Each structure stands twice: as C-alpha cells, then as structure tokens.
Structure 1
Amino acid sequence: MAKSTLDKDLKKVVRLEEATYALSRSIAAPGLAVIFLLAIFLFMAGLAPVGPLSIFVIAGGVIAGYMALNIGANDVANNMGPAVGSRALPLGAALIIAAICEAAGAILAGGDVVNTISRNIVQPSESLAVLDFVLLMMASFLAAALWIHLATFLNAPVSTTHSIVGGVLGAGVAAAGMAAINWSMMSAIAASWVISPLMGGIIAAGLLGFVKWTVLFREDRITAAKRWVPVMIGLMAGTFAMYLSLKGFSRIWRPAPETVWALGAAGFAAGWWLSRPWIARRATTIENRRKHVARLFTLPLIFAAALLSFAHGANDVANAVGPLAAIVAAAESGQAAPDKVALPLWVLLIGAMGIALGLALFGPRLIRTVGEKITKMDAVRAFCVALAAAITVLIASAMGLPVSTTHVAIGGVFGVGFLREFLANIGLNADGVKPRKVRAGDPDTLNKTPEEAIRRQSKRETRKLVRRRHVLTIAAAWVITVPAAGALAAGIYVALKFFVA
C-alpha cells in the first residue's frame, strides 16, 4: 500500500515538472521577443533625429522589429519545412542554418524592393503632408505584422509580401484616396496569387516525375542515379547561380542578361562535374532500393534550402524594414514619399536579427506544418520543391511577374503531393509497377465474394495523399491576405490620425 501511494505521488511530481517546463517554454519565447523589441526602442531612442517626427521614427523601429519577428516565424518555414519534413535536417540544425543564411542575405544583399513598397504602390499627390505619409507607413506594416501574427497562430503560411502590399494599399486609400494607388502594379500582384502556386506546383511535379522515371522506376536504380543525379545537382547549381546573381545580390551587383546566363552555365557545369565522383563513391555504399537511392539527394537538399534562405533574406527583409526606411527618409528630408529611399546598415540589422529570432522562437510549429502535415516528404520530393521554387522565381523575374516565394514553395509541396496521389490512384507503386488486379479465385479472395474483394481493393487504391483540410485553410488565407491587411491598415491609419490630430 505504501509503495502504491509513493508511486502515485512520484507520478504527480513528474506531471507537475512537465507542466512547469511546458509553461516556462511558452512564456520564454514571448518574453525574449519583448526584450528584443525593448532593445530596439532604446536603440532607436538614441539614434532618432531630433525633430517633430522623432517619436514616429522610434515607433517605426519597434514595429519593424515586430514585423521581422513575424516574417521569421511564418515565411522562413517555406524554405526549411520540406527539408525538416523529409528528415534531411533535424529541426535544430535547420533553425541554425536558416537563421545564419537569412541574416547573411539580409545584411549583405537586402533591400532591393524598398522603393516598391514605399513609393511604387502608393503614389500620393504633392499635397499629402509628411506626417500623413509617416502615419500611412506605420499603419501599413503594423497591420501586416498583426495579420502575419494571426496567420502564424492559425498555422497558415501566408505571403509576407502580399501582407505588406495589402497594408500599404489600405492605408494609402485611407490617406490619399483611390486615385493614389498604382492599380496596374496591384493587378500584377493579384495575378501572381494564381500564377505563383500553379507554376511552382507544376514545375515541382515535373521535376519529381523526371526523377521517378529516370531513376526511381528503373530496375538498376544505382546506375541510373550515377547518370542522372549529377545532372539534377548541376541544374540546382546553375539555377541558384542565376537566382542569386539576379535576386540575391541585386542591391550590390546587377549583371547583364548574358552574364546571368553565363553564370548559370558555369554553375551547371561545376555542379555536374564536382558531384559525379561524389555520387559514384556514395553509390558503392548503398543498396539498389528506392529508400537508399533517395539518400543521394540529402546533401544537395541541404544546400538548396540554405541558398533559398539566403535569397529570401536578401529579398524579404524589405518587407520588414522598407516602411521604416521610408519613415526615416521622410523625417530627414521633410518630404512625403521621398524620391530615393536609402537603406542604412542599422535598418538592415533590425530586420536580419528580427527574422532570425522570430524563426528560432516561433518558427518550429509552422515548419512542421509545411514539412509534415500537407503531404509526406522525403529527400527527393523536398529537393524538387526547393529547386522548383528557384526556377519559378527565375522564370517569373524574366517575365516581369511579381511572385511570392511563399506561394511558390507551398505550391511546390502541393504539386509533389498531388503527383504522388495521382500515381498511387492509377495503380503505380513505389517501383513504378502496376500490381496485379484482384480476380475471382485468387488466394487473397478467400472468404470474400469476388465483388467484395474487388470493391475493397478499389477502395484501397483511391488514396488521398494530400490533406485537403490544409489546402482549404492555406488557400483561404492567401485569398483574404491583401483585403484583410488592407482593411486593418485603413482602420489603424484612421485611429492614428485621430489620436495625433
């Protein structure tokens, strides 16, 4: 009796310790985020120019930090989610790699789209007061940050680019009217809602189909892998060489088109040539099984995810600090929508540190959603998603289409998932072979009527390998992102205007 009572008491103590640990973790993340925002406040208080708009510059810095935290929590999951879901990277290693690459991209090459956010969406008349422009920018990215925060809480990966665009649109209408909006740019952005995920999904499915039919469905997979995996790695190297030259380093270097193509060809040749002996060595240590051959894609996948994170940091840091840069420029020049918006290093540092911290504190949950809950991932599928994201952005850039990296990556995840589902439902197994159909008199029809056996097999073959619940949730979040962020921004602008006046 005494032993039983002691066991019960020990179990209660263990449960109490577990609950205390879970509570401390849930409090620690918001606490560290608050400390980060407080540090930005103190930093901005000592840096802000003296003048009537100094308080708004300080507030803008804090909001930019909050926005960067939310970008790290939501957007970076699209780059690292497939790698984590495929078990190519443990979650901790993925967080470290993504944080380093995102911060490096933001600091070294960030800010190419600042003028688009601060000037090209809203083109106010010269009569707009400087204070009204500052309030417009504050309302726009506070609304975007709040919307992304809500989406992250709901496990919905949304486009941070579209969130800030919606915020600028809504606040711009409230501040300067419908005539101030650049509707041609807004039409192009709206078109990308459909183009981005479709293009990403089709390219990812095409790449996965190519790998399946050239390698995984072959009888001698190892020989096929030695021939074709270096080609895929070369394609990855060439694509990212072009991608980084166009997007990743656009703030410090703008190469001519022929230079971009030359870099792509050189990257392909280098990737193919360097990977051939590595693949040949690895091929001697694996079995002629699908699971073993898929491991050849693990290291290329890690490189692809890291490069995507670098390029994402270079481009999307402007979503966090673009409005802050515009506020600082307006406060220093005394002009609404100044002609040129510079991006000082300290502004980039706020964005870089915020993205890295937001990823570490709040990113794991959404990483698991993208990598595990939409469809099952392995190294091959995740590699195809990462490569498709880079190829899609390259094509869209050449066509002049503003696409969302979030939509592209999630579209790629859905693309490989629906291809798996299609192949399974037409009867192809993992080896690319159709199993024999059930017939009356077969051994596995014992104790079943022929009709029942066939019906049960048909039911088994109609498989759903993509969770529809996540399709609907994510699609709904995409559709309402711009109007929701816009309406919220308009309301915040009106409230700020009322209190300031």
Structure 2
Amino acid sequence: MLDQYTYVFVIGTFFAFLDAFNNGANDVANAWATSVSSRSVTYRQAMILGTVFEIVGAVAVGARTADTIKNGIIPNDAFKGNAGVQMLAFTCALAGASTWVMWCTRHSAHVSSTYSLISAVAGVGVATVGASQVQWGWNHGKGLGAIFSGLFMAPAIAACFGASIFLLIKLIVHMRRNPVPWAVWSAPLFFLISGTVCTLSVVYKGSPKLGLNKKPAWYIASVTLGTGFSLAILSGLFFVPYLHAKVIKKDYTLKGWMFIYGPFLFARQAPADAEVAKVPDYAVVQHSDDETTPQGSVNGSASEVNEKNLVATEVKQLTYAELVALSEERMNARLRKKRGPLGWAMRLLHDYPMGDGKIYEIPNLRRFLKRLPAQIVVGLLYGANYDIHAAQTGVEGTPDGDRMRRVYDNAIKYPNETEHTFSFIQVITACTASFAHGANDIGNAVGPWAVIYSAWSTGDAAKSKAHVPYWQIGVLAVVLCSGLVLYGYNIMRVMGNKITYHSPSRGCCMEMGAAITVLVFSQYSLPVSTSMCITGATVGVGLCNGTLKAVNFQRVSLLVLSWIFTIPVAGTLAGVIMGIVLNAPHFT
C-alpha cells in the first residue's frame, strides 16, 4: 500500500507536469506568436523550431540547481525539517498556479507562468508560516517586492526599446523612396544588432550553468561583439547576394539552397520575364467568408449573386456567439476535407455526435467509446492545423472583427520585398529567445518538482539548493514543448495581430526590444517576465504608426488585468488549498 508521502509525490508530479505544460502553452507560445503573426514562419515551423531550441537550451545549459524556497519568499526554517509539509507546500503551490494558468489559457488570457508560481508560493507561505514570515520586501532582490517591481516597468521599457529599433529601421529603410535596395544593403547592420543582442541574451539569461555572466567585461564584450560581427560578415557574403538576386533582380528561378554561391550570385542573370519578386505576401487581411466567388462578381450568375446577398443579410442578423461559432465551423469543415488521421477524426466526430441525455445512457456510452479514438487524434493534431491568422484578424461582422479592421487600416504597409529581408532576422531572434527561455525558465518549471522528489526520495526536507538530475530537466522540457504543440494556439490566436498590425520588420524589433529589456533587468538581479516584455514591445512598435488607433488597447487592457489578477488569485488559491489540506482532520 502506498504511504501518504507517495500519494503527495504522485499528485505533486501531476501538477508539476501540468505547470510545465501550461508554461509551454503560455510563455513559449507567446514568444513565437510574434513570428507567426508576422508570417516569418508558419505555425508548424514555429512548433518545430520552438521545440528544438527549448529542449537544447534546457538540457545543454539549463540551470541544474533549484532554490527550494523560491527566490527567498519562504524562510529556510519554515518547514522545520518536516519533509511532508515541504512536499505538500510545493504540491499546493503547483496546484494553485497550474489551475489558474490552465483556466486563463483555455480562455485565451495570457498570464506569466513564472509570476503565477511565485504568487502561489507566497500564498502557501502565508498558510504555512503566516503573513509576517513571508518576504514581502526587497530581500536582496529575491523578495516579492523585487519580483513584482518589473510588473509595469518592464513592459514600458520594452516599448521604448522596441520603438527605438523600429524607428531606426524606418529611418534607414522604410522612409526611402525606393526602400528595397536600402533593405538589402543595410541587412548586415541589423544582423549585427540582432546577433549582439541575442548573444547577450544567452550570456545573461540563458547560461546559468556555464557561468558566462560571471566572466570579465572584456570577455563578454569580445564574445558578443565577435558573434555579432561574424554574423554580419556572413550575411554580407551569403545573404546579401542571395537577397539581391531574389528581390532586386527578381530572379524567380532562385532556390533557397543557392545562398551558398555567395558573391557569385551578383553575376547571375535573371530570366528575361522576371518582373515580380517571388516572396511571400506578408499582408494581414480579413478574408471574405466566401472563398470562391466574391459577392457581386461578374463571374457569378444573377441567381448566385442574389443568393449570396440573402445569405449576407441573414449573417448580419446573427448574434456574436453565432458568428464566432459559424467561423469555427467553417474552419472545421475545411479540416474534415483533409486526408489523413485528422480528417478522419474530424469526420467521425461530426457524423457521430453525442445524443440527448447524460453520458451514462446506453446509446451515449456506445457513441463515446466510438468517438474516443477520434477525440485523442483531434487533441494531438488540432492545434497544429488551427488557422491562427484567421483567428487573429477577428470574425467579420462582429465588433472584434470591426475593431481589428480599424487597427489594420491605421497601420502603414510596406513592400513585401522589404519585409522579406527582415523575416530572416526575426527567425534568429525567435530561436534565440526559445533557447534562452529553455535554459533559464526550465529552472522555474523543474524547481518545485525537484524539491518534491528530493523530499520524497530522502525523507528529509531539501536543503537550500537541490541538485536537479538531467532526466528531470529533459522530461519537463518535453512536457513544456508539448504544451506549445497541443495547446499553444489558444494564446497565439489572441496575441500578435490581435494587438497591432504585424510584419517581419516590426516583429524583429518587438523581439529585440523585449530581449534588451530582459538584459537590463538581469543586470540589477530583477526577475522579469519575457512575455510581459514582448507585449510591451508590441505596443511600442504599434504606436510608431503615428496614431493610437493602430493599437488595440482593449486587448492590451485585458492582458494587463490578467497580469494583475494573477497575483491574488494564484496566491489565494494555493494558500486555501494548503490551509485546507494541512489542517484537515486526519487519523493516525
């Protein structure tokens, strides 16, 4: 029979996995939402790159020690050597934090997983040792006062950095009469900036195991600037000739692998009929509900046009919930036409809906068992096929869709050839952000679980520093990435274009602005949420359009409210759970 410690360990492990899953669905998804919104990468590419760099960052250079009192919030002697109370405390903290973040993710409200866990630990501390014993002040940069000091400062500073970088790009590239050549020839400069910033991100936020942040200043400067200039030189030798042939000569026969030709591409002759550069369309638009023949098109017959007018009139009479449901059903109908496992599963669920009555009715039980394999397949594959861009632009005919149309109308659109230049830079910044997040934030995810495991396996309250085995880091890194793949679309569909108009030149500025802000706060040992920084940088870049109407402040206000409510809700929830379980009647 399992003892009570094993029960707590099993429950704690479950909530540790749930917290890591939520971390991936929230923080990692938010980190890649900018790149997906800018169309620099597809959602599937973001999942692959995010998974690879998160796991590599976590396993290769991730922190292997975990502060069992979570940055000094609970005093060392709070548990008085009682391993059971310590296990229970961190289990309740994980339960409160993961429950709140899961609810927010389900409703597409982005919150910081790290701040949720910190608030939950504070709530557990109040329930365990009393409010007077919790470190509410600065506590050498580890108390709650220091942790939450960046709640509003960090987004504001990130907005300034992001806007400054974007204004530099506007001055050098976008404001020129012919911006495409300026974008091509100035590319090494922006590769230099991004390479330096990304290297500093790895040094100060993503390499606690390597200890690079403790090296002399001359060493750090040499490494960062050396990396930045090396990247700039490589871009000048290979990227600039490739881009010159593709967007200036408009050579549509150029293949991606031909960048290895380097300077020889300058002598390459483009086809005589090359008139338009073969680059993706980065425009963010709201597509019509009818994807075949536009309403009133001369290609349609009079009866077809009249029928579409009647349908349009009926659609306008639908409620907001019905319009959203209609949009979701339209996407699901496209998925049902797909070949492969997802199409089969979507068709089966559509053809065999649950009947009237409770699930224990015999017909419903039979249908449930028949639908179960399809539901598992949909759960695994639905997120990878979700139409992120359609969800971000809002449903036409709804207040949300009208609001997003106004935001896009007030944003300046730049040529696709120019934006294509910055899409490569944005991929670099996004991959580096994932690497640094996996290396640094894996400690926040694995720390409580390491404490619970250590207390369960040894029977003693863990010391101030608990050694974290590689296998624990690897397991939670995989769980974290599964959150991005399976559930990250809930956050991506409201981030990015839901706040302001995105494009690659804007997106790389947002990511670099957030990275610089994290670096600044790291210098003063102030923990800060990368997700909050990227949100602030997004607003700052959006304001560079020259009008407040280019930013969806309603969505921004909802995000800020979710940040604020995270502190009392997660803390109270975890504290109540701890108080109830700790003081519940029991038999010995």
> Which of 140, 148, 154 is matched with 1:196 structurally?
154
Please state if 1:237 is matched with 2:195: yes
The 3-state SS of whatever aligns with 1:272 is: helix
CA distance in 2: counterparts of 1:75 and 1:281, whole angstroms: 34
The answer to whether the Cα contact below 8 Å between 1:225 and 1:293 also exists between their aligned partners in 2 is: yes
Cα distance change of structure 1 residues 57 and 116 upon mapping to structure 2, 3 Å threshold = closer
Alpha-carbon deviation of 1:56? 2.1
Q: Which residue of 2 aligns with 1:404?
A: 529
Preserved contact between residue 109 and residue 314 of structure 1 (Cα < 8 Å): yes
Residues in 1 aligned to 2:184 and 2:47: alpha-carbon distance in whole angstroms: 31
Moved more, 95-104 or 216-225: 216-225
Unaligned runs of 5+ in 1: 1-44, 426-462
Residue 241 (structure 2) pairs with residue 283 (structure 1): no
Query: Hey, what's the Cα distance between the residues in 1 that align with 2:234 and 2:454?
Result: 47
Indicate how the Cα distance of structure 1 residues 92 and 127 shifts in structure 2: closer, same or farther if over 3 A, else same: closer
Which residue in 2 is equivalent to 1:470?
Answer: 555
Do the aligned partners of residues 245 and 500 (structure 1) sit closer, same or farther apart at CA in structure 2, a change above 3 Å counting? farther
1:79 to 26, 31, 41: 31
Preserved CA contact (<8 Å) 2:70 2:118: no
Shift of 1:334: 4.0
Shift of 1:323: 0.7
Change (3 A) 1:499 1:99: farther
Measure, in 1, the Cα distance between the counterparts of 2:456 and 2:154: 36
Residues 191, 112 of structure 1: alpha-carbon distance in 2 compared, 3 angstrom cutoff: farther
State which of 221, 227, 243 in structure 2 corresponds to 1:267.
Answer: 227
Q: Is the 8 A contact 2:19 2:445 kept in 1?
A: yes
In the alignment, what sits opposite 1:325? 450
Structure 2 matches for 1:45-444, cutoff 5 A?
53-111=5-63, 114-115=66-67, 118=70, 120-125=72-77, 128=80, 129-183=82-136, 184=138, 185-254=143-212, 255-258=214-217, 259-277=219-237, 278-286=239-247, 290-420=415-545, 423=546, 425=547
- The letter for the 1-side match of 2:468 is L
* Secondary structure of residue in 1 paired with 2:75: coil
Is 2:580 the partner of 1:495?
yes
Higher relative contact order (CA 8 A, sep 6+): 2
Checking the alignment, whether the CA contact within 8 Å between 2:79 and 2:85 is kept in structure 1 is no
Q: CA deviation at 1:310?
A: 1.3
The alpha-carbon distance between structure 1 residues 212 and 112, as it changes in their structure 2 partners (threshold 3 A), is: farther
Q: Which amino acid aligns with 2:104?
A: A
- Counterpart residue type for residue 186 of structure 2: W
**CA shift for structure 1 position 102:** 1.4
Partner of 2:467, secondary structure, is coil
Is the contact made by 1:107 and 1:314 (CA closer than 8 Å) also made in structure 2? yes
Partner deviation per Cα, 1:319-374 (whole Å, 9 max, x = no partner): 32211111122334444351321111222123111111111111013112212211
Tell me the TM-score normalised to structure 2 length.
0.67
SS at match of 1:89: coil
- 286-295 or 304-313: bigger deviation: 286-295
Distance 1:51 1:483 in 2: 33
Structure 1 partner of 2:284 = none
Code of the residue aligned with 2:194 in structure 1: it is: M
User: Which string of whole-angstrom CA distances, capped at 9 and with x for unpartnered residues, describes residues 259-297 of structure 1?
Assistant: 222211111211211112312431343259733111101
The alignment-based identity, stated in percent, is 28
Query: Gaps (5+ residues) in structure 2?
Result: 249-276, 278-413
Distance 2:178 2:158 in 1: 30
Return the alpha-carbon distance in structure 2 between the equivalents of residues 257 and 477 of structure 1: 40
Q: Check 1:270–1:180 CA distance in 2 against 1; reply closer, same or farther (3 A cut).
A: same
**Kindly tell me: are residues 308 and 329 of structure 1, through their superposed partners in 2, closer, same or farther at Cα, counting changes over 3 Å?**
same
Q: Is the contact made by 2:165 and 2:509 (CA closer than 8 Å) also made in structure 1?
A: yes
In 2, the alpha carbon distance for the partners of 1:496 and 1:353 equals: 31
After superposing the two structures, state which structure 1 stretch, 151-160 or 279-288, moved more: 279-288
How many Å apart are 1:376 and its aligned residue? 1.3
**Partner amino acid for 1:465?**
A
Please give the secondary structure, in 2, of the residue aligned with 1:286.
Answer: helix
Deviation digits for residues 411-454 of structure 1 (CA, Å, limit 9, x no counterpart): 1111111222xx2x4xxxxxxxxxxxxxxxxxxxxxxxxxxxxx
Tell me which protein shows more helix as a share of its residues.
1
**1:116 offset after TM fit, Å?**
6.8
Structure 1 counterpart of 2:464, one-letter code: D
Q: Distance in 2 between matches of 1:90 and 1:213?
A: 29
1:81–1:370 CA contact under 8 A, matched in 2: yes
Distance in structure 1 (CA, Å) of the matches to 2:241 and 2:522: 36
Deviates more, 1:226-235 or 1:258-267: 226-235
Residues 116 and 383 of structure 1: CA distance in aligned 2, closer, same or farther (over 3 Å): farther
Greater Cα shift, 247-256 or 148-157:
247-256
1:159–1:478: 8 Å Cα contact kept in structure 2?
yes
